[in-house]
Amino acid sequence: MMNYFPDEVLEHVFDFVTSHRDRNAVSLVCKLWYRVDRFSRQRVFIGNCYAISPERLIARFPGVKALTLKGKPHFADFNLVPQDWGGYVQPWIEALARSRIGLEELRLKRMVVSDESLDVLSRSFTNFKSLVLVSCEGFTTDGLAAIAANCRFLRELDLQENEIEEKKNHWLGCFPDSCMSLVSLNFACLKEINLAALERLVARNPNLRSLKLNRAVPLEVLQRILMRAPQLVDLGTGSFVLDHDSDDSETYRKLRATILKCRSIRHLSGFLEVAPRCLPAIYPICLYLTYLNLSYAAGIHGSELIKLIRHCGKLQRLWILDCIGDKGLEVVASTCKDLQELRVFPSDPFGAGHDAVTETGLVAISSGCPKLNSLLYFCQQMTNAALIAVAKNCPNFIRFRLCILDPTKPDPVTMQPLDEGFGAIVQSSKRLRRLSLSGLLTDRVFLYIGMYAEQLEMLSIAFAGESDKGMLYVLNGCKKLRKLEIRDSPFGDSALLRDVGKYETMRSLWMSSCEVTLGGCKTLAEKMPRLNVEIINENDQMEFVHEDSQKVEKMYLYRTLVGPRKDAPEFVWTLE
């Protein structure tokens, strides 16, 4: 019946299908739908930049306007992937430019971006509107200057946790006076900024909704910026301290008065440097906040955090440091009844853990916040009883990531592994998509995961399991698994090779410090030509003994349609 509709109608209907997975499904229905989707698709998501080539992307989706690309494996965030591994955006930008694609939005994660790439980007796409870089590296503020100077209709420049070399230029001043279209600007990961240029920029961009400053922006400047931009919805403060000058009380008073005018702020972050006595200035806006991120605010004590949290009754997402303590989490539980996402980061990963959180805090949260669906929790210890209670209180987890700072610590009360606790979580949260495990764990936890985690897409394993059975339970049971990353666990060739076809249904598999051997990886690579099986060998090439029985230190494999990559460095060996 849909075949009798002209293509334009189909297109219009497909416009309402926004999730890229749904669009992918739409394209598989029939040739007609494939064709209509193909020419009308504007947003494309590529989870592994080496799975496909830019040429093939352009050939299939000539109308692409918004592209998301991801490069390095997730464990690169934790220094497990050496420098120069890969993930270069340059070939993508060059290809898109050559083909005169009307690119408007580019979102990159864990990729290597050069100043030249940014320069080409800024000059090649006249309607370019939005650049979001997350955990990227390889560029300097010169590249940012090019973006600022050349992208006439830039709406969004969002730099999250990138490694950027800062030159003496004032890149912010490169935004022309005619640039008045900015809606979102985030430079929190930089160390310096030109304050005068910043104030001028804010003054002439009345549509600014999201602004995240860096630690070079002092309180006085923040106050002036807020005067200019009371319409902000999303604010990241810079430095939130006052030195001991005589003007201080005046600045503070002005800040308080200005903040009262900022009635639209719903997301608050920053506090990269903070003097706790300045915090009361933000109490008036706490009431309306739905997202609060204090995870970089090392200077705030547990007791002060608690005072602050008591004002935040409408919070839905909270990112905080573990110095809030179990007591603080109890306050969160009683105050933030709408809480959906909680992230508790460690403040002292190598310390004795005086100010930290335990299972007590988590149980309190689960008890007070039944809407909780996303958790990242760094803690000193966890018990099975607590996890079972949490599972019962919160059956809606989509993401559950637990990190016990001592990675093989058992339940301190019973001295048992945490298999039962995690088993309870996967059994109760039927919509669980992402899971990270820690603590002492046997094969049993993987049995539970294979049995119950039907929607699981991403699993992170560290220092867990006893035998190949563990890994097999997961590979056999989790039908929707896309990403599996394993470190320091006793899984070997037998598990790796049992079901080689499985890996084509997944995006990628990472295994480091496990029991897989070179021979096992070679066998896999031979059997599966549409997988790239990469061995990362950081030792001197000459010393690397090519013995099949040798254990492989780091293996990363991923499905691909374009064969071994040509930009692999010397220490990456793609098996064939």
Binding site for other proteins (CB under 8 A): 75, 77-80, 135, 161, 163, 189, 244, 272, 275-277, 295-296, 298, 301, 345-350, 352, 354, 378, 403, 405, 407, 436, 460, 462, 487
Contact 552, 521 (CB under 8 A): yes
Residue type, 281: A
Helix, strand, or coil (residue 40): helix
- For other proteins, the closer of residues 192 and 454 by Cβ is 192
* Cα-to-chain-centroid distance, residue 511: 20
Q: How far apart are CA 397 and CA 525, in angstroms?
A: 36
DSSP letter for each residue of 103-120: --EEEEES-B--HHHHHH
Considering only the C-alpha atoms of the chain, give the largest distance between any 2 of them, rounded to a whole number of Å: 77
| β-strand pairing of 554-559 with 531-536 | antiparallel
CB of 5 or CB of 345, closer to other proteins: 345
Nearer to other proteins, 123 or 301 (CB): 301
Least spacing, CB of residue 261 vs other proteins, in Å = 29
Closer to other proteins at the Cβ: 276 or 325? 276
Structure tokens at 245: 């000058």
User: Residue 243 CB, nearest distance to other proteins (Å)?
Assistant: 10
Left (φ > 0), alpha (ψ -120 to 50) or beta: where does 271 sit? left
Supply the angle between the helices 90-98 and 115-124 in degrees, to the nearest 10: 20
The 3-state DSSP class for residue 510 equals: strand
Provide the minimum distance between the beta carbon of 403 and other proteins in the complex, in angstroms, as a whole number: 6
Nearest to 474 by CA among 494, 495, 493: 495
Nearest to 268 by CA among 234, 218, 225: 234
Nearer to other proteins, 75 or 92 (CB): 75
Quote the least distance from Cβ 250 to other proteins, whole Å: 16
Strands 130-134 and 105-109: parallel
Q: How many CB atoms lie within 10 A of CB 456?
A: 25
CB of 525 to other proteins, least distance (A): 26
**Residues 77, 510, 422, CA angle at the centre, nearest 5°?**
85
Q: Are 390 and 367 in contact (CB under 8 A)?
A: no
Distance (Å, whole) CA 516 – CA 518: 7
Distance of closest approach, residue 155 Cβ to other proteins, in angstroms: 25
Summary count for the chain: helices (H), strands (E): 20, 25
Following DSSP, what letter does each residue of 409-420 receive, concatenated?
---TTT---SHH
Q: Which tokens go with 131? A: 């650049």
Cβ proximity to other proteins: between 179 and 189 the closer is 189
Which of 67/362 has CB closer to other proteins?
Answer: 362
Least distance in angstroms from the C-beta of 195 to other proteins: 22
Residue 347 Cβ vs other proteins, minimum distance, rounded to whole Å: 6
One-letter amino acid of 274: V
Identity of the residue, 93 or 282, whose beta carbon is nearer to other proteins in the bound complex? 282
Of 206 and 349, nearer to other proteins (C-beta) is: 349
Cβ closest to other proteins, residue 366 vs residue 512: 512
Give me the least distance between CB of 284 and other proteins, in Å please: 23
| Pairing of the two strands 508-512 and 554-559 | antiparallel
CB of residue 161 to other proteins, shortest distance in Å: 5
Q: CB nearer to other proteins: give 121 or 404.
A: 404
- What is the Cα gyration radius of the chain? 25
CB of 186 to other proteins, least distance (A): 13
Measure the CA–CA gap between 404 and 5, rounded to whole angstroms.
Answer: 57
C-beta closer to other proteins: residue 275 or 398? 275
Q: How far is the CB of 418 from other proteins (least distance, A)?
A: 16
CA distances (Å), 71 to each of 84, 93, 110, 133, 424, in order? 12, 14, 5, 12, 34
> Could you tell me the smallest distance in angstroms from the CB atom of residue 396 to other proteins?
24
Residue 300's CB is within 10 A of a number of other CB atoms, namely 22
Nearer CB in complex with other proteins: 4/350? 350
Among 455, 470, 344, smallest CA distance to 402 is for 344
